[in-house]
């Protein structure tokens, strides 16, 4: 459809590219790229350290200015907090994204394949005010950055 | 679940930026239904695979901590205008969907 | 709940200076009202271009605007616009379609709400959608969310950039409907004894608990809205209901006379602002 002309003025992006694919039915075709099973242990861990150990193999990491986290100082609604993580480090293998104050802190891991640039964005849920933590695995070592996000409960407003 | 993924893929210089939006409830399993008071069963995308030209460029694993109707963007090099990007998600209940888009 | 009450009481104290509320709805004409409200908001929020008010609280709250822009980058309502487009294109059982009721164009936002002299009532776009369904032997849709919001999202999207231009014709019944909406807006109600104007005029820009209150100006422009809180699209009348309930007043039926007249008044106040729905909100 012709959405390009009507996007919000501040948006420079264009409408979704016309999709040329056909959706595959539930579970019919297992994509070949999937080898690893979902890391249940990491995602159910109650602490940042346990989660990191389970997903990155270790919890110890060094803080790094080279990792940039973009997230709001105050989340409008904890249900949808836009977060971006990027770094100019070389040799990045994976990125873990955690919300320290969540019941289970690990929210996402991103395994970078050939050509991938360490620059990802998503939207996460945050149960309460806490730090968002990004842990980057590069050259076998763990580096991290954190940014505090204030979460207020959107209790009023119908 | 057809058409649960929307993709925008744009190349600038040698970098392709892909943005996608998936339609999915992303239930953590901890939320109570406001009417019945019962816990809504966990139902969330736990894996997203991005491929370009048939090769995986990124695999993400998620918890139910990703917002409802998830958004994901990432970038990579090595593709050209007109190449196909393919996004596949799988969820914890065995559901999955997949969609392709041409890089513009 | 207790905290809400405290915060609201605080507002009550602040908003002792009532600018417009004490007058009777019939004291001034719609044109005079428009000028008063415009001046009031211009003074209250100097330097903000008129059209910016169509972005609700994000016109005045820089902090939340950043998140909003990030979400609008690929807004969660986009798939719903497509669902609405499919509805628009799908023929009814009788072979006709929505196009037959809407002059073949989905870009209808600018025509609603309007005064229908024959029916002697305010007709909103959602009402017209259901009228169309019923005229063609189809089942009407629920007014708050779901399919009607999808279709309204598609129609609003196709209408982006059209300006709100609500006319109050020189007809005593039309004027009465407008005044009814106005009286509703300024009437205090509910256990907390708040009017719409207490929050969205007198206290616009101030905080109620965790919310910054958006100015009434522009309130009719961005619908339907995908609220993160709802996790789905909702209509303007759904929001009216929510705002009534949060001061513990009873809510009215969506598309009932009260809310249609309220929409008539509210949209008129925003004349000149572009329709920019659908929108995302927190």
* Chain B hits for A22, Cβ within 8 Å: 2
Q: Is the dihedral of CA C183, C184, C188, C194 positive or negative?
A: negative
Q: Is C137 helix (H, G, I), strand (E, B) or coil?
A: coil
The answer to whether position A90 is within a domain reads: yes
- CA distances in angstroms from B71 to A150, B4, B5, listed in the order given: 21, 12, 10
pLDDT digits (tens, 9 = 90+) for C211-248: 899 999 999 999 999 999 999 999 999 999 999 998 99
The whole-number pLDDT of residue A7 equals 63
The predicted structure's pLDDT at residue C62? 86
A22 and A69 in a single domain? The answer is no
Residue B68 to residue C231, Cβ atoms within 8 A: yes
Contact A105, A135 (CB under 8 A): no
User: With respect to CATH, is domain B5-102 assigned 3.40.50.2000?
Assistant: no
In the block, residue with structure tokens 């940039």? A68
B90 and C CB contact within 8 Å: no
Q: Which residues of chain C are modeled with pLDDT < 70?
A: 1-23
Q: Between A59 and C25, name the one with better pLDDT.
A: A59
Per-residue pLDDT tens digits for A112-157: 998 999 999 999 999 999 999 999 999 999 999 999 999 985 322 2
Give the separation between CA B99 and CA C70, rounded to whole angstroms: 23
Give the confidence band of B18 by pLDDT, cuts at 50, 70, 90: very high
Which domain range does residue A104 map to?
A: 39-151
A76 and A12 share one domain: no
CA distance to partner chain B, nearest, from residue C73 (Å):
9
Are A66 and A97 contained in the same domain? Answer: yes
Residues 6+ apart with CB under 8 A from B16: B9, B10, B52, B75, B76, B77, B79, B83, B85, B103
Q: Do A75 and A101 belong together in one domain?
A: yes
Q: Chain C: residue nearest B2 by CA? A: C79
Q: Which residues of chain B are within 8 Å of residue C78 when distances are taken between CB atoms?
A: 6, 21
pLDDT at B41 over 60: yes
Residue C100 CB contacts under 8 Å (≥ 6 apart), including other chains: C132, C136
In a shared domain, residues A82 and A142: yes
Q: Indicate which residues of C carry an active-site annotation.
A: 243
- Domain co-membership, A44 together with A74: yes
C205 contact partners, CB below 8 Å, separation of at least 6: C44, C45, C60, C212, C213, C215
Structural domain count of chain A: 2
Residue contact B6–C228, C-beta within 8 A:
no
Domains of chain C: 2-74+165-281 (1.10.760.10), 78-159 (1.10.760.10)
Which pLDDT value is given to residue B31? 85
- B-facing residues of A in 21-80 (CB < 8 A) are 21-29, 31, 33-34, 36, 38-39, 43, 79-80
Whether C67 contacts chain B with CB within 8 A: no
In a domain, A84, yes or no: yes
Other residues' Cβ atoms within 10 Å of the Cβ of residue C128: 20
> Is the model's pTM score more than 0.80?
yes
Question: Does some domain include residue A122?
Answer: yes
DSSP A54: H
Mean pLDDT of A59-79: 94
pLDDT in tens, C130-143: 999 999 999 999 99
Distance between CA atoms of residues C142 and C80, nearest Å: 16
pLDDT score of A21 more than 70:
no
Residue A97 inside a domain? The answer is yes
- How much is the pLDDT for C13? 37
Name the minimum distance, in Å, from the CA of A62 to any CA of chain B: 23
Domain layout of chain B by residue ranges = 5-102
Which residues are CB-contacts of A43 (< 8 A; sequence separation ≥ 6)?
A: A51, A104, A106, B46, B61, B63
Instruction: Report the pLDDT averaged over residues A63-80.
Output: 94
The helix/strand/coil state of C168 is: coil
Chain B residues touching residue A125 (CB < 8 angstroms): 28, 64-67
* Distance from C-alpha of C50 to C-alpha of C271, rounded to nearest angstrom: 10
Q: Helix (H, G, I), strand (E, B), or coil: what is residue A137? A: strand
Q: What pLDDT shows up at residue C23?
A: 60
Give domain status of residue A158, yes or no. no
DSSP C222-260: S-SEEETTTTEEE-HHHHHHHHHHTTT-PPPPTTSHHHH
Mean of pLDDT values over A59-77:
94
**Best CA proximity match to C239, nearest among C256, C257, C220, C264:** C220
Q: Cβ–Cβ contacts within 10 Å for residue C34, how many?
A: 18
Nearest by Cα to C275 from C62, C64, C54: C54
ipTM of the complex: 0.95
Question: Alpha-carbon distance C116 to C135, whole Å?
Answer: 17
- Do the chains contact at C74 and B23, CB–CB below 8 Å? no
């Amino acid at each position: 459809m012709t959405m390009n002309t009507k996007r919000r003025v501040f948006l420079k992006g264009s409408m979704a590219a016309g999709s040329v694919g056909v959706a595959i039915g539930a579970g019919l075709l297992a994509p070949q790229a999937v080898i690893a099973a979902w890391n249940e242990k990491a995602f159910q861990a109650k602490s940042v350290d346990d989660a990191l150990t389970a997903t990155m193999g270790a919890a110890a990491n060094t803080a790094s200015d080279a990792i940039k986290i973009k997230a709001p100082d105050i989340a409008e609604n904890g249900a949808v907090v836009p977060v971006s993580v990027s770094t100019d480090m070389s040799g990045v293998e994976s990125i873990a994204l955690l919300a320290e104050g969540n019941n289970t802190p690990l929210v996402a891991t991103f395994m970078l394949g050939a050509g991938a640039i360490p620059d990802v964005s998503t939207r996460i849920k945050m149960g309460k005010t806490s730090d968002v933590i990004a842990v980057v695995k590069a050259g076998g070592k763990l580096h991290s950055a954190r940014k505090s996000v204030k979460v207020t409960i959107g209790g009023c407003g119908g | 679940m057809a058409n649960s993924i929307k993709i925008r893929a744009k190349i600038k210089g040698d970098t392709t930026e892909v943005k996608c939006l998936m339609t999915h409830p992303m239930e953590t399993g901890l939320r109570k239904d406001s009417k019945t008071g019962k816990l809504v069963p966990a139902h969330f995308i736990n894996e997203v695979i991005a491929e370009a030209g048939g090769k995986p460029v990124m695999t993400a694993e998620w918890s139910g901590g990703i917002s409802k109707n998830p958004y994901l963007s990432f970038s990579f090099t090595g593709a050209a205008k007109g190449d196909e990007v393919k996004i596949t998600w799988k969820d914890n209940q065995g559901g999955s969907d997949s969609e392709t888009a041409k890089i513009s | 709940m207790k905290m809400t009450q405290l915060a609201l009481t605080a507002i009550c104290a602040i908003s002792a200076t009532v600018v417009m509320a004490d007058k009777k709805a019939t004291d001034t004409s719609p044109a005079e009202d428009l000028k008063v409200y415009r001046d009031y908001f211009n003074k209250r929020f100097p330097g903000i271009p008129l059209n910016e008010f169509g972005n609700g609280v994000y016109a005045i709250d820089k902090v939340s605007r950043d998140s909003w822009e990030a979400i609008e980058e690929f807004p969660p309502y986009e798939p719903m616009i497509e669902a609405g487009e499919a509805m628009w294109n799908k023929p009814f059982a009788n072979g006709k379609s929505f196009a037959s009721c809407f002059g073949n164009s989905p870009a209808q936002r600018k025509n609603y709400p309007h005064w229908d002299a024959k029916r002697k009532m305010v007709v909103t776009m959602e009402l017209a959608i259901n009228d169309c369904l019923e005229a063609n032997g189809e089942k009407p849709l629920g007014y708050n969310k779901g399919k009607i919001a999808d279709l309204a999202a598609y129609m609003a999207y196709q209408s982006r950039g059209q300006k709100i231009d609500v006319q109050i014709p020189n007809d005593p019944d039309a004027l009465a409907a407008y005044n009814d909406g106005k009286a509703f807006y300024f009437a205090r109600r509910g256990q907390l004894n708040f009017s719409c104007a207490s929050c969205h005029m007198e206290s616009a820009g101030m905080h109620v608990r965790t919310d910054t209150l958006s100015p009434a100006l522009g309130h009719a422009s961005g619908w339907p809205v995908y609220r993160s809180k709802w996790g789905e699209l909702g209509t303007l009348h759904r929001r009216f209901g929510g705002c009534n309930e949060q001061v513990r007043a009873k809510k009215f039926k969506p598309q009932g006379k009260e809310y249609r007249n309220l929409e008539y008044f509210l949209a008129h106040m925003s004349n000149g602002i572009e329709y920019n729905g659908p929108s995302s909100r927190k």
